[in-house]
Amino acid sequence: MKNTLTKLALAGLMASTMIGSAVAQEDTIKVGVLHSLSGTMAISETTLKDVMLMLIEEQNKNGGLLGKQLEAVVVDPASDWPLFAEKARELIEVNEVDAVFGAWTSVSRKSVLPVFEELNSLLFYPVQYEGEESQRNVFYTGAAPNQQAIPAVDYLMNEEGVERWVLAGTDYVYPRTTNKILEAYLKSKGVAEEDIMINYTPFGHSDWQTIVSDIKTFGSAGKKTAVVSTINGDANVPFYKELANAGIKAEDIPVVAFSVGEEELAGLDTGPLVGHLAAWNYFQSADTDANAEFIDAWHAFIGDEERVTNDPMEAHFIGFNMWVEAVEKAGTTDPDAVIDSIVGVSVPNLTGGYSAMMPNHHITKPVLIGEIQDDGQFETVWETSGLVIGDAWSDYLEGSKDLISDWRAPMSCGNFNTVTGKCGGSGS
């Protein structure tokens, strides 16, 4: 009898422990992290996973959210675009996360859009993109074309006197749509079609000799020429190496990149790249107290003083803090309540000042043009005088210039046509 009672007591204790563990798990707010940790995009995305873990850890040290601790759920979609949709569904349906921070390429974002719409979950997307989209369940904390691509071209045209343009990109939706916008913009500024060269290469492209030779020939026509680069991922490493091999210097044919930041430069011999440019909304070299604190926290978390920060990391910093504030404001992580409460939320950015979430689910950002230095950092050579509101729909494309987005009631539309007075649908 004694043994039976002992066994029953042990069984009860085990059951109690299991229930306690289950309650403890239920008592966390789960945050999904959807970034490629392998494949061609791992060079850019792994750091974004790391910074999300840092932000979640810091929030937990500060008391968590709504009285609960945050729990990161990390998956690896492995630079496989259909797998992004599967992993997003897994995060939402199986892991029951309350929000997801992730994706890099636009093709990966496009892959997951139907999942977030169907399951009514939240995605915070931290990378510059081509615009032409505004989805109720997505918050675009990276740059729209009017916050990066258009100002970069204006800088090259007005400050560098560029007259011929090479639009070089990886072959997927972001470079193709961005270059479509840039081509229309350049032509609106009087640039002739023969002064625009457009080239696309696959992800992971490594043999740049012929293309760089073509760029060099194109730039020898007696007009100042520049390369506007939407090349993504690890293809950037051999591209810049081939530019150096071909003797193309920044003073001859400057390259302005939209997808090369401090993280990508960390893997390159930067000597031959000095003087080439990038357009972003943040550089690690930003001289602000907020940025100094962020860099110190990053180095302490990652345990490596050499690890750099970059623009998409700042976008996650902004997006995560906006989500936290919106959840606190709503008093719940319920997606509908957060969507209603997040518009107008304003949080500090790292370049000085505050960024706000606008009704089109894009944010306000400064635009910076940086020149590559030999230490792999950027020196800001130009910046906007204030913050720029992200425009979901380009003013330079026929099908877009009449569209606006406003997810507040009563409009609640991502692509409202100001001419017809009608909403075109979901906005995606």
User: What does the H/E/C string look like for 48-63?
Assistant: HHHHHHHHHHHHHHCC
Write out the chain's pLDDT in tens, 428 residues: 444 444 444 444 444 433 333 334 469 999 999 999 999 899 889 999 999 999 999 999 999 999 999 999 999 999 999 999 999 999 999 999 999 999 999 999 999 999 999 999 999 999 999 999 999 999 999 999 999 999 999 999 999 999 999 999 999 999 999 999 999 999 999 999 999 999 999 999 999 999 999 999 999 999 999 999 999 888 888 898 899 899 999 999 999 999 889 988 887 788 878 899 999 999 999 999 999 999 999 999 999 999 999 999 999 999 999 999 999 999 999 999 999 999 999 999 999 999 999 999 999 999 999 999 999 999 999 999 999 999 999 999 998 999 999 999 999 999 999 999 999 854 44
Do 328 and 381 fall within a single domain?
no
In a domain, 5, yes or no: no
In a domain, 317, yes or no: yes
Q: Is residue 418 domain-resident?
A: no
* Statement to judge: residues 171 and 247 lie in one domain: yes
Shared-domain flag, residues 196 and 326: no
- The CATH number linked to 204 is 3.40.50.2300
Residues 226 and 342 in one domain: no
CA 91 to chain centre: 20
139: in domain:
yes
Determine the Cα–Cα distance for residues 355 and 344; give it in Å rounded to an integer: 10
Secondary structure, 3-state, 93-113: HHCCCCEEEECCCHHHHHHHH
Domain containing residue 103: 22-143+289-365
Nearest to 286 by CA among 365, 344, 231, 358: 365
Strand boundaries in 126-254, DSSP class E: 138-140, 164-170, 196-201, 225-230
Question: Is residue 398 domain-resident?
Answer: no
Strand order in the sheet with 138-140: 69-75, 28-34, 99-102, 123-125, 138-140
- pTM comes to 0.89
Element (H, E) at 84: helix 81-89
